[in-house]
């Protein structure tokens, strides 16, 4: 059977000329560098960052170790420099999906130190879904489709996703080092000139190579450290745990003991538990070039996970870009070719939200970045200025949300000005108001970054007027949107006729009365009072 990702056409790609072809890993790189890849048909959305990061880290590591000037332009040269990472294995074992000898590594699969360890591999997995980090117990259509039609690249993507993205999954199943805790996540922030796979990967490879010395300066890793963790034998013991100081800054890790085998004409996997994590616990402080790094520790002394209930809303994205509480990912910084560019870039933010016992959804957001904004991300003063504007806007959104919540809660309470009162067993007025506030948040979120950049890129003398129009312009300002939502809410809540007039009048009074007050937005009304 075709088994080597270096030699055999195991990976399906859709090309820019409309064809579907199967190619080897070196040919994948060649097609990517020529921007000929439209899609990887077997790649599912939640696997995108895992595969992207793998290709970038592997490509950058191979280029660096080979001492070549940049990405090769042909598959033979890519094959040569990739083999250069595994010179101790002339049989190409680390690049084969199945290696019968358990004391040799296979692709993303560590070797055992002796055949005796075969007894550890007790759990059989018949489809790539069984390896995947995503909990899909209710997603039967996806599970059955892959189970029935699984090909080699389904297994390749599942292996890469599991080994580089998985968290803690119970005793003996530890998570990756590039995650602050077992229930954390590995988010991804980078910029790219295009959403196309090849242009994004080429740009991030360039960024990794350019920032290599900075990574070595900021994190205790080794210039000659281990790059491909899966080629190092591992029996799952504590004594084998690798220290960060033994790793290359571009290291590609594994977190589970897995072996693929043949089952007739198909693949199957077996897995073993481990008594300790593969890489000693470093609380996610690994210099992951895509991940914002928390500068705030929780009560357990662990950096907080970036993605949680807030997911990738405007506030969380602002945190990843410019918040002082988060270290900016290396690949958000402009690379040399972008520092004076006048073109529009795109911010790509991705991440799987993990919770105890499962996953809570994959989230992805792509945001166009204007030239001045892009340049600001590479300069401390510019990022601080952009951050202050964003913070002010978020604060003002919060004020409008608070006023809207109070007004809608008053409406839900039949005009009672203290919406905390509610009947036992029923939702409180504030609970009833929450979906209406979420509507405002969703509308504001849809244009937040475009509006933010409009103000940031304007002349400082024009910024106040731009901000005020964004807040209230009689049509689609934040206040205008909130007022319209309150109007719609008036017809949505059931209310006895005897209370209806009072409820609407009091709700409107709360909204219009709080806006110009000291805890509202008096700046919007100062000019009117002067006139």
pLDDT at 305: 64
Which of 284, 281, 287, 296 lies closest to 248 in space, CA to CA? 287
Q: What is the DSSP string of 243-277?
A: PGGGEEEEEE---SEEEEEEETTEEEEEEE--SS-
pLDDT at 307: 63
For the chain, the farthest-separated pair of C-alpha atoms sits apart, in whole angstroms, at: 88
429: alpha, beta or left? (left if phi > 0; alpha if psi -120 to 50): alpha
Q: Distance between CA 96 and CA 115 in Å, rounded?
A: 19
**Alpha-carbon separation of residue 349 from 108, 198, 363, 461 (angstroms):** 26, 17, 8, 32
Residues 169 and 340 sit within 8 Å (Cβ to Cβ): no
User: Is the Cα torsion angle 373, 454, 294, 280 positive or negative in sign?
Assistant: negative
* Strands 226-228 and 247-252, sheet pairing: parallel
pLDDT at 148: 58
3-class secondary structure, 11: strand
Output the CA torsion 472→476→479→481 (10° steps).
170
Q: Distance between CA 370 and CA 355 in Å, rounded?
A: 35
pLDDT at 139: 44
pLDDT at 338: 87
pLDDT tens for the chain, 531 residues: list them.
779 999 999 999 999 899 999 999 999 999 999 999 999 999 999 899 999 999 999 999 999 999 999 999 999 999 999 999 999 999 999 999 999 999 999 999 999 999 888 889 988 998 898 887 654 444 434 444 455 578 999 999 999 999 999 988 878 889 899 987 766 678 899 999 999 999 999 999 999 999 999 999 999 999 999 999 999 999 999 999 999 999 999 999 999 999 999 988 889 999 999 999 999 988 888 999 999 887 766 666 666 667 655 578 899 899 888 888 788 899 998 898 888 777 889 999 998 876 554 556 788 999 999 999 998 888 889 989 999 999 999 999 999 999 999 999 999 888 876 555 555 557 888 889 999 999 999 999 999 999 999 999 999 999 999 999 999 999 999 999 999 999 999 988 888 888 888 989 999 999 999 999 999 999 998 754 444
CA atoms lying within 13 Å on the CB side of residue 77: 12
3-class secondary structure, 319: helix
Q: What is the DSSP string of 111-178?
A: PPSSGGGGGG--EEE-SGGGT-SS--TT-HHHHHHHHHH--HHHHHHHHHHHHHH----STT----SS
Single pTM value for the model: 0.91
**Alpha-carbon separation of residue 370 from 193, 322, 344, 345, 450 (angstroms):** 11, 16, 5, 7, 9
Written as six digits, the tokens of 397 are 């959104």
pLDDT at 416: 78
pLDDT at 386: 94
């Amino acid at each position: 059977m075709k088994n080597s990702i270096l030699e055999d056409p195991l990976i399906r790609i859709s090309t820019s000329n409309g064809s579907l072809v199967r190619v080897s890993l070196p040919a994948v790189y060649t097609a990517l560098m020529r921007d000929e890849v439209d899609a990887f048909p077997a790649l599912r959305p939640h696997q995108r960052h895992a595969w992207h990061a793998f290709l970038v880290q592997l490509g950058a590591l191979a280029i660096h170790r080979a001492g070549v000037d940049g990405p090769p332009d042909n598959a033979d040269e890519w094959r040569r420099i990739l083999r250069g990472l595994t010179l101790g294995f002339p049989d190409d074992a680390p690049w084969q999906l199945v290696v019968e000898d358990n004391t040799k590594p296979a692709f993303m699969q560590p070797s055992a130190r002796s055949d005796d360890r075969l007894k550890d591999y007790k759990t059989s997995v018949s489809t790539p879904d069984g390896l995947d980090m995503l909990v899909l117990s209710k997603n039967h259509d996806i599970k059955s489709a892959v189970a029935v039609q699984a090909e080699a690249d389904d297994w390749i993507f599942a292996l890469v996703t599991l080994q580089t993205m998985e968290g803690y999954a119970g005793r003996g199943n530890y998570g990756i080092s590039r995650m602050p805790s077992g229930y954390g996540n590995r988010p991804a922030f980078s910029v790219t000139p295009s959403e196309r796979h090849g242009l994004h990967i080429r740009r991030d490879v360039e960024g990794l190579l350019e920032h290599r010395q900075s990574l070595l300066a900021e994190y205790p890793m080794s210039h000659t450290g281990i790059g491909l963790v899966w080629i190092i034998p591992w029996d799952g013991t504590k004594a084998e745990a690798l220290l960060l100081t033994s790793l290359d800054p571009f290291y590609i890790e594994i977190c589970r003991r897995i072996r693929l085998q043949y089952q007739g004409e198909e693949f199957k996997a077996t897995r073993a538990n481990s008594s300790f994590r593969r890489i000693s616990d470093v609380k996610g402080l690994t210099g992951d070039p895509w991940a914002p790094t928390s500068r705030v520790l929780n009560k357990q002394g662990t950096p907080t996970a970036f993605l949680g209930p807030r997911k990738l809303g405007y506030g969380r994205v602002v945190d990843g870009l410019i918040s002082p509480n988060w270290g900016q990912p290396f690949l958000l910084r402009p690379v040399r070719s972008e520092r004076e560019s006048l073109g529009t870039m795109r911010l790509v933010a991705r991440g799987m939200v993990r919770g105890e016992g499962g996953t809570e959804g994959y989230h992805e957001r792509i945001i166009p970045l204007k030239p001045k904004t892009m340049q600001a991300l590479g300069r401390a003063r510019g990022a601080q200025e952009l951050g202050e504007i964003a913070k002010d806007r978020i604060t003002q959104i919060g004020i409008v949300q608070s006023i809207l919540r109070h007004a809608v809660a008053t409406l839900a309470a039949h005009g009672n000005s203290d919406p905390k009162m509610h009947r036992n067993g029923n939702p409180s007025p504030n609970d009833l108001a929450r979906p209406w506030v979420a509507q405002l948040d969703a509308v504001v979120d849809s244009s937040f970054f475009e509006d933010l950049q409009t103000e940031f890129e304007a002349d400082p003398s024009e910024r106040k007027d731009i901000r005020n129009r964004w807040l209230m312009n009689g049509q689609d300002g934040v206040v205008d949107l909130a007022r319209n939502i309150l109007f719609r809410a008036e017809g949505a809540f059931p209310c006895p006729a005897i209370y209806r007039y009072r409820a609407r009048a009091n709700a409107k009074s709360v909204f219009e009365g709080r806006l110009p007050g000291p805890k509202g937005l008096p700046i919007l009304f100062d000019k009117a009072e002067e006139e």
